[in-house]
Structure formats: structure tokens, C-alpha cells
Amino acid sequence: MAYEVLARKWRPQQFADVVGQGHVTQTLQNAIKANRIAHAYLFVGPRGTGKTSLARLFAKALNCKNGPTVTPCDDCDSCREITAGTSMDVLEIDGASNNGVEQVRDLRDNVKFAPVHGAYKIYIIDEVHMLSTAAFNALLKTLEEPPAHVKFFFATTEAHKVLPTIVSRCQRFDLRRIRTELIVERLNLIVKEEKISLDSDAALAIARGAEGGLRDAESALDQLIAFRGETITEADVLAVFGLVSRQTLETLAMAVLKGDVSEIVRIIGELDASGKDMQRLVLELLDQFRSLLIYICAPTSAASLDIVESQLESFKKQAVLATPDRLMRIAEVLSQAEDRMRYSLSRRTLVETSLIRCALSTMVSVDELLQRVDAMRQSLGISAGAPLATSVAMRDAAPVTYSRPPAPALASVSSVAPVARQTPVKPAPAPAAPPVNELEHMTAQWRVEIVERVGRIGTAALARNLLLDARPLLVEPMRVVIGFDPEFAANLAKIQMPHYLKAIQGVLTQFLKRPVNVEFQLIASAGPVDVPSDHVAEKAGTGDGKGIKSKQDWYKEPVVRKTLEFFNGSIVDIRE
């Protein structure tokens, strides 16, 4: 007898065999019991979650000789034929290869014929979203008012591609990704019946790699049996599928939380040398820290996490070292790394620098910021009542705002885009005036050193083409002005997108070796370039500027200068 793969051998034959889709099986069984069977059903969900299996099982329940019944007998001719896929009353159609209007017209002509054995003629169309628009339209009328003996069961992984007019004529069921613990439970049942030895960590690794698809897990188990025979360990699973062990993930997460850079570099080096998928590693770390965040912030919801009992012990140890703010920052850095992964020439370097950034990042509370500012006041001999109100954005931290009693004017301080480094960098001193030839130097290096470097940043890759039509106009201590010729006025609006500005500002900061802000403007068609000066006093709401300090005056203030140095920031606006 020909070998039958595990995914087919262990396909559910009863509603009770379906794993992780109780909300669907319960509804279908209730419909059968109440004799409220619709004429069209749409099963939606990720691959390997049981869409086609449910359609077959439902068809068998309707056409069983004892049916409609919630427990088909599996002995009658109809049940055996449906299980084997040879039933003349249950026709399975592949939507990908039969997606033309001609095939649908043939189907429409055949629905009028009565079933051969069972009570219903059932059409199961898999990957129904692959049907053409013309084919969908040809099916509409028949789908809305089919003969009493005809039922349609549709399955798809991409419901958004199915015409709304089709969806509205069906009862829709959304299948969920299957929880890891349920996949592990099912694998343990299979290996017990197949007389295979599978340790618990190996079962967990297979379930993690399946990403919620039971069929993928069963196929992976089949491959491992062919690879290792009757005894399968976690090392075998990791070797075949390039996964990272749970213990390694937990050790790496702990190193990040402890700030142990040497341990991070060691682990990443070992994983890269063994050929592990760096992008998959980032995704699993992201899921690890997300689960830890929920464990800390919502302990009552920890039971709903897609983890096994043994993982809770590691969360208890990690929770001591983590805070919600820091975990959210880590998740943000890892998300950015995953987004940039596809553009990176060295994935190992990107992962290392991202994890080092996570390890060295700190979050400072508002109270601590105020204490530090008060300490600066005292060191400079300034009384506690002296006016000071600043808005700051920290390196590797979310923006934090603090304020003092109202004053005639306030200075807003904004940090430049952080640049990933493998060692912490001390805040730079207040920048000196730029050399006379700095504009010429930037103009000469514009395309090679600035435009191309911006283009290599994943989130700003498209900004490269916009900057090719621009050129630097002015370089000041804290500001760079970039101009567009009038014919490229449309590019001026596009370049103002926040992620473009952040990337360009970061590159310019590296190029000039000091924090700067970037501004864009159109270049006048004739006459000198009209560049606004920071040396003119600014006043919000009035035009005289009397009594309001300019930015340069604020730079001379000891407290402001000390604050700028401490946060590596720059003044971006002055308001009354």
C-alpha cells in the first residue's frame, strides 16, 4: 500500500477531531441539528488551519446515509467516497486552475442535475479568490438562488480578494491560527499512535515553526521522521528548519534586559555561524518581548498568551529586569530592524546593532529629569524660581516634556535622529561656528556622501530620487537649508514626510559631526536666494520682535547651553 503522509492520514474525520476551531464546529453542528443549513459557506483563514477539511467534513455530515448528522458514520458509501475524494456528489474545484468564466458556466449548467447518491450536490471551491471577476459575476445568480439540492463551500486565505457581492451571499467563518499548545498536544497524540519518540522541546520547536498551521506542523514532523527515524530531539528540529532554541531565545532576551553587550555579540555570532535565519530571530524576539510586556502589564491576561507552561518561569525572571516603557522601546527598535532587514547587506550587523541599542537604552522619568535640571541650576548658581521651560527628546527614548512656571518666552529643544552605535557616545559639546567652506564641501559631496547614504536607509529609500533634484543652499551652526528648483516644486511636498526628514537629518548630522535641523525651500528663479536667518529675533503673534531673545541669545544662556549639551539637542522654535 502506498505511503500516506501524516497531514492526510490525520485529517479530521469528525467535528471533534478539528483542532482549535471550536467556534466554527459548534456553529455548523447547531445548524445541522436545527436543520438551518445555508446554501453557501465561506471558510477564511491562514494556511493549514482546516478550511478544506471543514468543508469536506461538513459535506460528509450532510450526505451521510444517516444525515444530515453531526456524527457521520464513516462506513456508508457516501462517507467513504467523500473521504477518498471520489464522490460524484461532492466536487472539489481548484480555483487557481479553474478560474475562467468558461469553467463557471459549465458549473452553472451542471447544478440543475440531481445528486447521484447523497441528499445534496456540493461544490467545494478552494482558493476561491483566484477566480476572475468575470467568473465571479457568472456565478452570482446561481449562488444567490441555487437549486434546493445544491450547496457551495468556498475556502480562501485572502478574503479581501473575494468580491463583496460573493461574500454577501455566503455565511462566512473566520478560522484562527491554532495555538501553540494545541499543536503540541496534537503532535504528541500523533507520535504516540505512530510509535515515535518526540521530546517536549522538539514538539514546541515544531509548533513554533508552524506559526499556527497544524498542517505545516504535521508536514514538518513527517520530514523529521524521514531525517532521524523514530527518535526526534530539539536539536534535530533546529538543524532541519534553521530555528533558534527556546533556551537561546530566553538567554538572548535576558542579555538584552541586563545590558550584557558581550553576551549579545557572542550569541548572535554563534547563530549566524550556524546559518540561523536572522529575520526569523528578530520576529521571535519581538514576540518574546511582546509576551513579556503582556505578562507584566496584564497578569490576568497571561493565561491567554500563546505559550506553554515552562515559558512562564522565564518570564518571572525577566520581569524583574524590565519595565513597560523599556519593553515598548525594545519592541519599537526590533520592529524597525525587521522592516530594514530586506534592504540590509549584513543582517547580522543590523541585528547586533539593534540589540545593542536595546540593551543600552534607558528610560528616564519626568521626576528624574526635573531633579537633574534642578541640580544644574544649583551648580550654576541659579535660583530655583528662575524661568526655564524646555521640551526635550532623549536618545533611544520616547519624547518627554517638562515645564517650569510661565515665562515670557520658552525655547523648544529637539534631539536629532538617533544613530545606532555599538558603544555609548557622550553628548557632544555645543557646536562651534561652521568653517567658511562647509557649504562648498557639502555641495561637492552631495550625491555620493549624502544622497546615497539616505537611499540606503530602508524607511527613506525613495527619498534618494527626490534629493537628486535638490542642492544645499545654506549651512549654519544648527541648521541646513536645502533648495529645489521651481520645476521640481512637487518634490518639495513629498520630501516633507516625517520618516524622510528624520533620515535626512540623521545623515546630515553624521556628515557635519554635529546636530542640525534641516529645512527645505524653493529656489527663487532670479536674484539672491531668500533664506530665513536664525539671527533675527522671533516672536509668536507679533511682528516687532521687541524684548524677545533670538536663538543665538538663548544659546548663550548657561542653563540652556547646559541642557543642550546634556540632551544633545537644538533649539527649533521660540514662543512667547
Residue 570 has pLDDT above 90, yes or no: no
Residue 535 lies in a domain: no
Question: What pLDDT is recorded for position 3?
Answer: 81
Instruction: Reply yes or no: is the peptide bond before residue 424 cis, omega within 30 of 0.
Output: no
- Pairwise pLDDT comparison (341 vs 393), residue with the higher score: 341
The C-alpha cell at 237 is 528540529
* Helices assigned H by DSSP within 341-459: 347-360, 366-379, 438-444, 452-455
* Helices assigned H by DSSP within 456-557: 463-467, 489-494, 498-512, 551-556
Question: What pLDDT is recorded for position 190?
Answer: 92
Same-domain check for residues 290 and 407: no
CATH number for the domain spanning 453: value is 3.30.300.180
Residue 123: left if φ>0, alpha if ψ -120 to 50, beta else—which one? Answer: beta
Residue 556 has pLDDT above 70, yes or no: no
Quote the mean pLDDT of the chain. Answer: 79
The C-alpha cell at 374 is 534642578
Question: What pLDDT is recorded for position 402?
Answer: 38
> Mean per-residue pLDDT for 184-209?
89
CATH number for the domain spanning 259: value is 1.20.272.10
**pLDDT tens digits along 321-351:** 888 888 888 999 999 888 888 888 888 899 9
- Output the 3-class SS for 222-258: HHHHHHHCCEECHHHHHHHHCCCCHHHHHHHHHHHHH
Question: What pLDDT is recorded for position 312?
Answer: 75
**pLDDT tens digits along 251-294:** 999 999 988 899 999 999 998 888 888 888 898 899 888 888 88
Look at the chain and report how many structural domains it folds into. Answer: 5
Residue 393 has pLDDT above 50, yes or no: no
DSSP element (H, E) containing 328: helix 324-340
Residue 525 has pLDDT above 60, yes or no: no
The C-alpha cell at 508 is 546630515
Same-domain check for residues 263 and 399: no
Same-domain check for residues 276 and 350: yes
Same-domain check for residues 328 and 344: yes
For 464, phi and psi rounded to 5 degrees? Answer: -60, -50
At 175, the pLDDT band (50, 70, 90 cuts) reads: very high
Check: CB of residue 324 under 8 Å from CB of residue 442.
Answer: no
* Burial of 2 per CB tally in 10 Å (0-12, 13-18, 19+): exposed
- Pairwise pLDDT comparison (256 vs 564), residue with the higher score: 256
Residue 32 has pLDDT above 90, yes or no: yes
At 417, the pLDDT band (50, 70, 90 cuts) reads: very low
Question: What pLDDT is recorded for position 156?
Answer: 92
Same-domain check for residues 91 and 157: yes
**What is the DSSP annotation of 506-531?**
HHHHHHHTS--EEEEEEPPSSSS---
Place of cell 524521514: 226
Question: What pLDDT is recorded for position 395?
Answer: 37
Residue 486 lies in a domain: yes
Residue 58 has pLDDT above 90, yes or no: yes
> Mean per-residue pLDDT for 371-399?
53
Residue 533 has pLDDT above 50, yes or no: no
At 500, the pLDDT band (50, 70, 90 cuts) reads: confident
Q: How far apart are the C-alpha atoms of 76 and 357, rounded to whole Å?
A: 64
Other beta carbons within 10 Å of 539 = 17
Same-domain check for residues 375 and 262: no
Check: CB of residue 408 under 8 Å from CB of residue 495.
Answer: no
Rg (CA), the chain: 32
Residue 48 lies in a domain: yes
Residue 132 has pLDDT above 80, yes or no: yes
Check: CB of residue 515 under 8 Å from CB of residue 430.
Answer: no
Residue 311 has pLDDT above 90, yes or no: no
- Pairwise pLDDT comparison (132 vs 371), residue with the higher score: 132
Q: Give Cα 53 distance to the centre of its chain.
A: 30
Same-domain check for residues 212 and 316: no
* Contacts made by residues 235-244, CB under 8 angstroms, sequence distance 24+: 236/202, 237/202, 237/205, 237/206, 237/209, 238/205, 241/205, 241/209, 242/275, 242/276, 242/277, 242/280, 243/205, 243/208, 243/209, 243/276, 243/277, 243/280, 244/271, 244/276, 244/280, 244/281, 244/284
At 543, the pLDDT band (50, 70, 90 cuts) reads: very low
- Pairwise pLDDT comparison (278 vs 548), residue with the higher score: 278
At 34, the pLDDT band (50, 70, 90 cuts) reads: very high
Range of the domain at 151: 6-174
Check the CA dihedral 173-177-183-184 and report its sign: negative
Q: Which of 238-242, 348-352, 415-419, 470-474 has the lowest mean pLDDT?
A: 415-419
Q: Which of 353-357, 379-383, 419-423 has the lowest mean pLDDT?
A: 419-423
Look at residues 335, 360, 385 and tell me which one is the last residue of a structural domain. Answer: 360
* CA distance readout (Å), 409 to 239, 337, 375, 554, 576: 64, 40, 22, 10, 4
Residue 553 lies in a domain: no
**What is the DSSP annotation of 194-220?**
HT-EE-HHHHHHHHHHHTT-HHHHHHH
**pLDDT tens digits along 62-103:** 999 887 999 999 899 899 999 888 889 898 888 888 777 888
Residue 550 lies in a domain: no
Same-domain check for residues 191 and 134: no
Look at residues 149, 174, 199 and tell me which one is the last residue of a structural domain. Answer: 174
Residue 53 has pLDDT above 50, yes or no: yes
Residue 433 has pLDDT above 60, yes or no: no
Same-domain check for residues 340 and 282: yes
* CA distance readout (Å), 395 to 258, 376, 410, 419: 19, 19, 22, 9
Max avg pLDDT among 133-142, 407-416, 555-564: 133-142
CATH number for the domain spanning 28: value is 3.40.50.300
CATH number for the domain spanning 197: value is 1.10.8.60
Other beta carbons within 10 Å of 120 = 21
Residue 528 lies in a domain: no
Q: How far apart are the C-alpha atoms of 272 and 251, rounded to whole Å?
A: 16
At 421, the pLDDT band (50, 70, 90 cuts) reads: very low
Residue 518 has pLDDT above 60, yes or no: yes
Question: What pLDDT is recorded for position 300?
Answer: 67
Q: How far apart are the C-alpha atoms of 507 and 349, rounded to whole Å?
A: 19
Q: In what order do the strands lie in the sheet with 569-575?
A: 400-401, 390-392, 410-415, 569-575
Residue 538 lies in a domain: no
- Pairwise pLDDT comparison (516 vs 499), residue with the higher score: 516
Q: How far apart are the C-alpha atoms of 72 and 79, rounded to whole Å?
A: 7
Same-domain check for residues 74 and 151: yes
Question: What pLDDT is recorded for position 7?
Answer: 87
Look at residues 174, 198, 222 and tell me which one is the last residue of a structural domain. Answer: 174
Question: What pLDDT is recorded for position 572?
Answer: 65
Same-domain check for residues 93 and 158: yes
Whole-model pTM over 0.85: no
User: Which DSSP letter does residue 448 get?
Assistant: I
Same-domain check for residues 356 and 414: no
Question: What pLDDT is recorded for position 155?
Answer: 93
Residue 564 has pLDDT above 60, yes or no: yes
> Mean per-residue pLDDT for 383-405?
42
Among residues 408, 375, 414, 371, which one has the least CA distance to residue 395? 414
Question: What pLDDT is recorded for position 530?
Answer: 44
